[in-house]
């Protein structure tokens, strides 16, 4: 069970979100064969999405879309305040070029688009920044600085294994309006001494222990939060039927005449959907009525 632990400093200058996301990442990673590179970067993106959405209000969602010129092409992770999480990568078997060791080269140069969706809004609010390193955590921190002018510390780690993820987790620390230089000094000092998330998680660290030094030094109070984050895909036959509109009546009619089924695989959960010719006829009738 994955729950984000949240804290707020007594002076209101700092808020913290921390999570041990191993089980969530394992369940959310795309089904089928994916490379260790993809498992690592996508695991980090999944972790980042739940950390970011944890501070939002009910029925809001955060979508992180990384696009680059590297072998991954793009990857996407989305989390809702109700605890629904999904993710995919354009090239799930991508590998680093020979001789390259920096994980950020998997994405290369490109952009991060952050979409924050709110109820009753037709279009989400979108923020766009250039990728700083392609290693996810640095790029999220750059987004906060450039798009929202919020100084932050983003520390995220994920380690792949034969199950997809050996461990994953991290924390997000944000400075709030009105912060003072003493608070900045404390954060800067701690960031140099607190062991990185990967080191802590590999030794059995939890969401609480990842940030215990920050919580103690900044006199933080835990915030109640019972949201459980879990893999969830909203694909359905209705959505598959709706996707036929992108083909147009002509192509649908050709499939019917050839007695072919329309088949599609969800790139989030890997589920295969199939529409038989009879269902295509019904869909075609609806398309021609509009």
Please report the DSSP string for 151-205 in residue order: -EEEEEEEE--TTS-SEEEEEEEEEPTT--HHHHHHHHHHHHHSPPHHHHHHTT-
Share of the chain above pLDDT 90, in %: 68
State which of 187, 203, 231 marks the end of a domain: 231
Residues 258 and 175 in one domain: no
Residues 257 and 147 in one domain: no
pLDDT computed for residue 105 by the predictor: 96
pLDDT band at 281 (very low <50, low <70, confident <90, very high): confident
Residues 68 and 208 in one domain: yes
State which of 231, 251, 272 marks the end of a domain: 231
State which of 231, 250, 274 marks the end of a domain: 231
Exposed, middle or buried: residue 66 (CB in 10 Å: 0-12, 13-18, 19+)? buried
What range defines the domain where residue 250 resides? 237-289
**DSSP classification of residue 56:** S
Q: Which residue has the tokens 């994916």?
A: 34
Residues 224 and 276 in one domain: no
Number of domains, the chain: 2
Q: Which of 46-50, 204-208, 233-237 is predicted with the least confidence, judged by mean pLDDT?
A: 233-237
Residues 25 and 140 in one domain: yes
Tens digits of residue pLDDT in 65-92: 999 999 999 999 999 999 999 999 999 9
Q: What is the CATH number of the domain that holds 28?
A: 3.55.30.10
Residues 155 and 245 in one domain: no
Q: Is the pLDDT score of 277 beyond 70?
A: yes
Residues 57 and 185 in one domain: yes
Residues 77 and 189 in one domain: yes
Q: Is the pLDDT score of 290 beyond 60?
A: no
Structure-block tokens of residue 254: 């050709």
Residues 247 and 107 in one domain: no
Model's pTM, two decimal places? 0.90
Q: Which residue has the higher pLDDT, 237 or 64?
A: 64
Residues 241 and 149 in one domain: no
Question: Best-predicted range by mean pLDDT among 104-118, 234-248, 257-271?
Answer: 104-118
């Amino acid at each position: 069970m994955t729950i984000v632990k949240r804290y707020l400093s007594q002076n209101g200058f700092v808020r913290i979100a921390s999570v041990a996301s191993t089980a969530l990442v394992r369940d959310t990673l795309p089904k089928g064969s994916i490379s260790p590179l993809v498992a690592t970067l996508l695991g980090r993106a999944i972790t980042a999405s739940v950390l970011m959405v944890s501070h939002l209000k009910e029925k809001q969602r955060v979508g992180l879309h990384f696009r680059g010129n590297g072998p991954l092409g793009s990857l996407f992770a989305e989390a809702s305040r109700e605890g629904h999480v999904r993710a995919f990568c354009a090239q799930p078997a991508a590998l680093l070029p020979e001789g390259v060791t920096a994980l950020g080269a998997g994405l290369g140069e490109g952009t991060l688009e952050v979409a924050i969706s709110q109820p009753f809004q037709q279009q989400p609010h979108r923020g766009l920044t250039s990728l700083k390193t392609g290693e996810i955590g640095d790029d999220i921190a750059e987004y906060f600085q450039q798009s929202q002018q919020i100084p932050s510390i983003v520390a995220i780690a994920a380690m792949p294994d034969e199950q997809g993820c050996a461990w994953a987790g991290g924390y997000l620390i944000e400075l709030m309006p009105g912060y003072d230089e003493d608070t900045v000094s404390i954060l800067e000092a701690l960031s140099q001494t607190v062991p990185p998330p990967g080191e802590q998680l590999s030794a059995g660290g939890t969401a609480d222990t990842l940030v215990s030094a920050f919580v103690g030094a900044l006199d933080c109070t835990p915030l109640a939060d019972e949201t459980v984050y879990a893999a969830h895909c909203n694909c359905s036959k209705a959505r598959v039927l709706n996707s036929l509109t992108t083909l147009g009546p002509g192509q649908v009619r050709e499939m019917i005449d050839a007695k072919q089924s329309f088949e599609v695989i969800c790139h989030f959960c890997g589920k295969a959907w199939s529409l038989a010719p009879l269902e295509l006829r019904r869909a075609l009738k609806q398309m021609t009525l509009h």
